[in-house]
Amino acid sequence: MATTQSTTGHLTGYKRVSTKAQDAQLQADALAEAGCSKVFEDKLSGKNTERPGLLAALDYMREGDTLCVWKLDRLGRSTKDVLTIAEELHSKGIALRILTGTLAGSYSPKGEGKFFFTMMVAFAELERDMIVERTRAGLEAAKAQGRTGGRPTVITDDLLTVARARKAKGESVSAIAEALGVSRATLYRHLAD
């Protein structure tokens, strides 16, 4: 099981959001409240193999320090990835502290604790996969009802009629797109329909 470890070193935070458009403020607040002296950040998917913020945090930390994350899925998205990071931390004498979620507490990968941690990481990965599957099912249901996501098109029926007429007169797609104020790719896509 997750065990509480007393730490004498620094508490270092790591926060991650999957896209640049997402905000990590909730994680930042939780890490500050936990007492992290330094926080590293990545703004990219956990599936990316290269995470410069995490690598910098691991390089910065020393034996006796604790890496603190808001939730387990912020550390990594796959069982193998999280376990590899946890094992590396442990081999360096660095504790892992998870602030919220199923594994809230500190982690020490020994005996029963290692088995428990492996199972919980697997459940977290399963939960993520279920969320992805529910999202796909919801999108498919919406599509079947005639609703689609994404940005609304900038090409109206009137604009498309004008574009087709100009194209029939021999005008280039680039010139038509510029005149109508749309991108060439958008115009090509609609002309192909």
State the catalytic residues.
Answer: 18
For CA atoms 80, 108, 6, 71, the dihedral sign is: positive
Contact 37, 57 (CB under 8 A): no
Which residues, other chains included, contact 108 with Cβ-Cβ below 8 Å and sequence gap of 6+?
A: 2, 3, 5, 90, 95
Residue 153 is given by DSSP the state P
Contact 53, 93 (CB under 8 A): no
* Token pair in block for residue 11: 């508490």
Contact 100, 30 (CB under 8 A): yes
How far apart CA 48 and CA 165 sit, in angstroms, is 46
Q: Outline where DSSP puts E strands in the chain.
A: 11-17, 38-43, 66-69, 95-98, 105-107
How far apart CA 123 and CA 101 sit, in angstroms, is 12
